[in-house]
Amino acid sequence: MTDLLPRPYSKTNAIQPLNDSLGERLITTQSPQRPQSTPRIRIEVDGRVVEGFEGQTILEVCRDNGIEIPTLCYEPKLPGFGACRMCVVEVEGEEHPPISCSRTCEPEMVVKTQTEEVRRLRRTNLELIFSDHNAYCLPPCQNKCPSHIDIPGFLKANAEANFTESTRIFKRTIPFPSVLGRVCPAPCEEHCRRDEVDEAIAIRDSHRYAGDQVIKAMMDDGIDPPLPFELQPKSGRKAAVIGSGPAGMAAAYYLLIAGHDVTVFERDPAPGGMLRYGIPQYRLPKVEVLEAEYESVTRLGGKIVCNAGLG
């Protein structure tokens, strides 16, 4: 097991201030608190004169004064992104309605938050979000994963050092977490929301590490790998799988859990397909990782017949 990774370095979850003004922000649903020395300004909102601090956004001043502006993406601890565009308002003298979470207040500014045009824009923006709602029902990392693996689920289990549960969650979609943790290009990490704060979570290394811990327990202590679903009673049916590459072995794995008798036929002298013959040893160790992962199939009763080319 020389290839097993050490436990990945885990950064603190504390959000570090990006600048002095962000450092003043409190973890609250209200706007950031300002030092008393910050100059105060007055603006008019919906016919009402309110006070705020110089440098605050329209949204912050409105929230401080009990004026509600709808938002979906606003987070007081982070700078305004305006991604949802639900917080648009009208400002007298400006041609285009600004986004209130990023527009800084100016003295004597006149703001309107409930005009017919503002409501129309908010309604249109919400309809646009709902028109692509499938992309918003999943975290962006999971949505960009070609297999839509439950990434938040296994990351939570990893954070609790429950690597068995993490691997169980992963295997619901793909049965070989350690293999994938070495060959996947990790498109999920390019869309990790944590990257907007500091850097993306090492998602690929996380499931690789959890899978390695399960392999280690299997090899050292004889503990069977976790099953993603309940093992079904024997069905009496037989299935032949042609090819022992990742697709064939994944099919065999789930067929075995479903209770079927499975035989995998492989034309080469050893199972693995492109995983064995197309990926170099330094990238994917064949004994420590590939054969160990495939053992989860044979432990369920699967049979692999090599040197059995068909056609």
Whole-model pTM above 0.95? no
CATH class belonging to 31-134:
alpha beta
User: What is the C-alpha separation between 217 and 128, in angstroms, rounded?
Assistant: 49
Which of 36, 57, 61 lies closest to 49 in space, CA to CA?
61
User: What is the C-alpha separation between 30 and 36, in angstroms, rounded?
Assistant: 17
User: What is the C-alpha separation between 11 and 87, in angstroms, rounded?
Assistant: 33
Q: For the chain, give the percent of residues with pLDDT over 70.
A: 86
Token pair 């099953």: residue: 227
Query: What residue spans define the domains of the chain?
Result: 1-16+144-228, 31-134, 229-311
- Of the candidate CATH numbers 3.90.230.10, 1.10.1060.10, 3.30.360.10, 3.50.50.60, the domain formed by 1-16+144-228 belongs to 1.10.1060.10
Structure tokens at 283: 């990238």
Structure tokens at 47: 């016919």
- Of the candidate CATH numbers 3.30.420.40, 3.50.50.60, 3.30.465.10, 3.40.50.2300, the domain formed by 229-311 belongs to 3.50.50.60
How many other C-beta atoms are found inside a 10 Å radius of the C-beta of residue 245? 19
Question: 170-195 pLDDT, tens per residue?
Answer: 999 999 999 999 999 999 999 998 88
Q: For the chain, give the percent of residues with pLDDT over 90.
A: 70
Structure tokens at 84: 């949802």
Question: 111-165 pLDDT, tens per residue?
Answer: 999 999 999 999 999 998 888 766 567 788 998 999 999 999 999 999 999 999 9
Question: 267-277 pLDDT, tens per residue?
Answer: 999 999 999 99
User: What is the C-alpha separation between 91 and 73, in angstroms, rounded?
Assistant: 21
User: What is the C-alpha separation between 52 and 40, in angstroms, rounded?
Assistant: 6
